[in-house]
Amino acid sequence: MIPIAFEYIRAASLDEAVAKLKAANGGGRFIAGGHSLVPLMKLRLSEPKVLIDIARIPGLAGIGERDGRITIGAGTTHHDVATSKLLQERCPAIADTAAGIGDPQVRNRGTIGGSIAHADPSADYPAVMLALDAEIHLKGPAGWRVVKAPDFFQDCFTVNMAADEIIASIQFAPVRSAAYAKLKQRASHYAIVGVAAALGVNGGRITSARVGLTGAASYATRLTRVEQALTGQPAASDTFEKASQVAGEDLAGINSDLHASADYRRAMIKVFTKRALVAAAERSG
């Protein structure tokens, strides 16, 4: 539990952070809350030479709404997302998700940008990012770039980011009728299976549906067959029951570990899809 020696730099701006990362020549890592990185460093599974602290970059943390879109700064802690009045009112699914991450210590330090960049296959946020069709705003030496969530999560701990880019913020149009449901691993409280659903409901009918899945495979993905089975259908329990039956049916490479076999995970995808759909629909009223 003792990391190797490393250098520590605190960045004052995004530009400085990006420049320092470049200067570190591949040996640098950004650190914000450190709740993914530091445990790996203590186990010597990650051995960065330089840590560039981005936690105090002005403006990197914060939650706001403009022109009907919500922006969450990458440095915003899980606790601040969980307790944001704006999010609880306009998009409670993401506040709920944050409230269920890890434990209070993790939520007080860990950040949304750090979690998404790390892309742990069992992390909670990626499912919600997919359901909200969030945009990930990245800053790099060449300027800004925006990646949609479905294009962002690419593989286990692998995202659509260049080595010299940094996440500045997450932006999305809030959806009130959205919810996240997870089967938590009882030691870590990570998701064995986590499903986020965002529904558009008009006159009792589902007009749009986005469903994101995490924990089940090596990276978070949309459950497009579920989405198709929902669209145009009445927002009723029969619909959710039926749609959840196709959840994960075409998913390959389902994880199997000490806590859950692939069979069990496969079954839980359906259970938690249904739960997320029902909870999302309950918020549409």
Partner 1 sequence: MAATPVLPKLVGERVRRREDPRLIQGRGTYVDDIKVAGMQHLAFKRSDIAHGRIRSIDTAAAAAMDGVEAVFTGAQIAEMLAPMPIGTPFPSPPHRAVAADVVRYAGEPVAVVVACDRYVARDAADAIVVDYEPLPVVVDPELAMTGKPTVIHPDFPNNLAVPFVPSGTGVSADGKTVDDSAIEKAFAAADVVISQRMVNHRLVPNAIEARGVVAHYEPGKEAMTIWSSTQNPHILRTMIGAMTGMGQDRVRAIAPEVGGGFGSKINIYAEEYVAAVITKKLGVPVKWVEDRSEAFVATTHGRDLIGYIDLAATRDGKVLGLKMRLIADIGAYNMLLTAAIPTLTMLMANGSYDIPAIRATLTEVFTNKTPTDAYRGAGRPEATYFLERAMDMLARELKMTPAEVRRRNFIPANKFPYATQMGAVYDSGDYERALNRALEASGWDTLTAERDAARKQGRLVGLGLAAYVEVCGLGPSSSLPTGGWEHSQVTVERDGRISATTGASPHGQGNETTFAQMLGDQFGVPIEHVTIRHGDTDVVKQGIGTFGSRSQAVGGTALHLAGGKVKAKMAKFAAALLEAHEADLVFENGTIAVKGVPASAKAFGEVAAYAYVPVPLPEGLEPGLSDEAFFEPANNTYPFGCHIAMLEIDRETGEPKLLKLIAVDDAGNLINPLIVEGQIHGGLAQGIGQAMVEEAVYNEDGQLVTGSFMDYALPRATDFPTFELHATTTPTPVNPLGAKGVGEAGTLGSTPCIVNAAVDALSEFGVTHIDMMLRPERLWRIIHGGRA
Applying CB under 8 A, which residues contact partner 1?
A: 1-2, 4-5, 39, 43-44, 103, 183, 186-188, 190, 258-261, 264, 267-268, 271
Phi-psi domain of 177 (left: phi exceeds 0; alpha: psi -120 through 50; beta: other): beta
Distance CA 7, CA 20 (A): 12
Instruction: Give 146's strand partners.
Output: 137
Q: In what order do the strands lie in the sheet containing 69-73? A: 63-66, 69-73, 166-172, 135-140, 143-148
Q: How far is the CB of 160 from partner 1 (least distance, A)?
A: 27
Residue type at position 207: T
- The 3-state DSSP class for residue 87 equals helix
The smaller minimum CB distance to partner 1, of residues 157 and 264, is found at 264
The smaller minimum CB distance to partner 1, of residues 54 and 268, is found at 268
The smaller minimum CB distance to partner 1, of residues 4 and 12, is found at 4
- The 3-state DSSP class for residue 248 equals coil
The smaller minimum CB distance to partner 1, of residues 242 and 259, is found at 259
The smaller minimum CB distance to partner 1, of residues 105 and 158, is found at 105
Instruction: For residue 2, give both structure tokens.
Output: 């003792």
First to last CA, the chain: 50
Q: How far is CA 163 from CA 116, 159, 208, 233, in A?
A: 15, 10, 35, 43
Give the number of other CB atoms < 10 A from CB of residue 238: 9
The smaller minimum CB distance to partner 1, of residues 207 and 261, is found at 261
The smaller minimum CB distance to partner 1, of residues 66 and 186, is found at 186
Distance CA 10, CA 56 (A): 8
Q: Which residue in 235, 234, 213 sits closest to 224, CA to CA?
A: 213
Q: How far is the CB of 200 from partner 1 (least distance, A)?
A: 27
Distance CA 74, CA 115 (A): 9
